[in-house]
Structure 1
Amino acid sequence: MTAPKRKVAILLSGRGSNMIALVEAAREPACPYEVVLVASDKPEAPGIAWAAAQGIATWTLSPKGIGKPAYEAALDAALRHAQAETIALAGYMRLVSDTFVAAWRGRIINIHPSLLPKYKGLDTHARAIAAGDAVAGCSVHVVTEELDGGEVLGQAEVAVLPGDTPDTLAARVLAVEHRLYARTLAEFVAR
């Protein structure tokens, strides 16, 4: 008898390329998770349109004008309604509150475009280039109250090439993110 697939919700704010990679991986019969909801703080996010076209349940709400507590309460209700067990942040550009993290403790993971603990926060590729790093990369980590500070579950390195710009490096890191995130999410939900 096959174990039931873990129910995953994906949060995004933009085009959703990591979400697409996770959805594509979930279509494989051996994948231990299924995507039950794609949610966004930006109703116009291209990733939402893609997910809806795939027949995946979607939820959107702009936090503008209602405040973070009301927004996160509505998001939490949508996640629970979808029976999500794990949340994957995939280009979700909002900081989640300590209250939200506490409600989902140990069940939220994120993909970050640096080799953590290096370069937490934004502008990671520019910072790696400015530091003269030979390698950059990405990390999947558990979300905690500390920004990009939770347990690192997986990492992948990408060489920094002569003449790299933040954009050229970002494009190569993103391609690696897609493979790393799908594999790491599968390992995470299976443990």
Structure 2
Amino acid sequence: MNIFLSGRGFFAVQTAEALQEAGHRILGVASPRTRKGHTDDSEPLSWDRLRSWSFPRQIMWSEAAELRAHHIPDKVDVIVAAHSHAFIGRKTRARAALASIGYHPSLLPLHRGRDAIRWTIRDGDKVTGGTVYHLTERTDGGPIAAQEHVLVPPGSTPESLWREHLAPLGVRLLLRVVNDLANDRCVEVPQDERLATWEPAMDSPPLFKPELIALAGKSTPRAKSEASRWALIDG
């Protein structure tokens, strides 16, 4: 299978290497121009890890923030988003012959949003997991291709839960789905919107949500939960 991979950091590199070891071909990658905290890309040591990984292998690199359809090479079968925060639009996704998939570190449709792991820890969840889903116009809302749960160990931090459990799970699930697609098996299970939750990024500015006045007055546990989450963000 011919793959275009959009992502960042060690997770994207581990995904790329796992795909290559399984016999798939990486035709191009997209990542941030530099690692977090760097602004000058004149020094290769400041580059994002996926960009650094692609350079000696002569794999075409594009900046994720500017990813467009014309950046996707011909004959790409699958676009893989591995810790990619850049939205991949409809025209760009259409460049993939078979599918565009991404990994989210939660049991979708629970904990949609950029800070899923931090909200998992903040909410005291005992069970979480990872989901590979088909990319659509709706953020984290596309049909599910693969999903597995994990128990949250006591004392976990967002960093330890990601590094020790959810990142390795993500590599394995992405590889499984790509292998399925290579064998003409395409799984697409719609997400149940009745169970969906969405939390904003924890480092986002305070939001004014007047509809929470009505929401907080409702008696359902779901309504109270959503109201309390927004109240935490709004300070």
How far off is 1:159 after superposition? 1.0
Residue deviations 1:128-156 (CA, integer Å, cap 9, x gap): 22333221111100001111111111112
Asked whether the 8 Å contact 1:38–1:56 carries over to 2, the reply is no
1:84 aligns with one of 49, 53, 76? 76
How far off is 1:89 after superposition? 0.7
Match of 1:60 in 2: 62
How far off is 1:119 after superposition? 0.6
The residue type paired with residue 60 of structure 2 is T
How far off is 1:25 after superposition? 3.6
CA distance in 2, matches of 1:141, 1:174: 15
Aligned alpha-carbon RMSD (Å): 2.3
**Pair 1:37-2:66 in alignment:** no
TM-score by length of 1: 0.77
TM-score by length of 2: 0.64
CA distance in 2, matches of 1:21, 1:140: 13
Whose relative contact order is higher, 1 or 2, with alpha carbons under 8 Å and at least 6 apart?
1
Question: Alignment identity in percent?
Answer: 23
What's the secondary structure of 1:80's corresponding residue?
Answer: coil
2:4 aligns with one of 9, 34, 40? 9
**Pair 1:179-2:159 in alignment:** no
Q: Which moved more, 1:96-105 or 1:86-95?
A: 96-105
Asked whether the 8 Å contact 2:79–2:93 carries over to 1, the reply is no
Q: Any gaps of 5 or more consecutive residues in structure 1?
A: 1-5, 64-70
Change (3 A) 1:155 1:141: same
2:52 aligns with one of 49, 54, 68? 49
How far off is 1:181 after superposition? 1.6
CA distance in 2, matches of 1:188, 1:182: 10
Match of 1:93 in 2: 85
How far off is 1:42 after superposition? 2.1
CA distance in 2, matches of 1:62, 1:24: 21
Asked whether the 8 Å contact 2:15–2:171 carries over to 1, the reply is yes
CA distance in 2, matches of 1:153, 1:47: 24
Residue deviations 1:56-111 (CA, integer Å, cap 9, x gap): 51222375xxxxxxx34xx4223134x31210011111122344345659621001
Q: Which moved more, 1:110-119 or 1:180-189?
A: 180-189
Instruction: Count residues in correspondence.
Output: 171
Match of 1:107 in 2: 99
1:26 aligns with one of 1, 13, 20? 20
CA distance in 2, matches of 1:182, 1:56: 22
Change (3 A) 1:103 1:79: closer
Q: Which moved more, 1:86-95 or 1:163-172?
A: 163-172
Residue deviations 1:33-72 (CA, integer Å, cap 9, x gap): 322212224262111111223x251222375xxxxxxx34
The residue type paired with residue 5 of structure 2 is I
Change (3 A) 1:184 1:78: same
What's the secondary structure of 2:141's corresponding residue?
Answer: coil
Larger Rg: 2
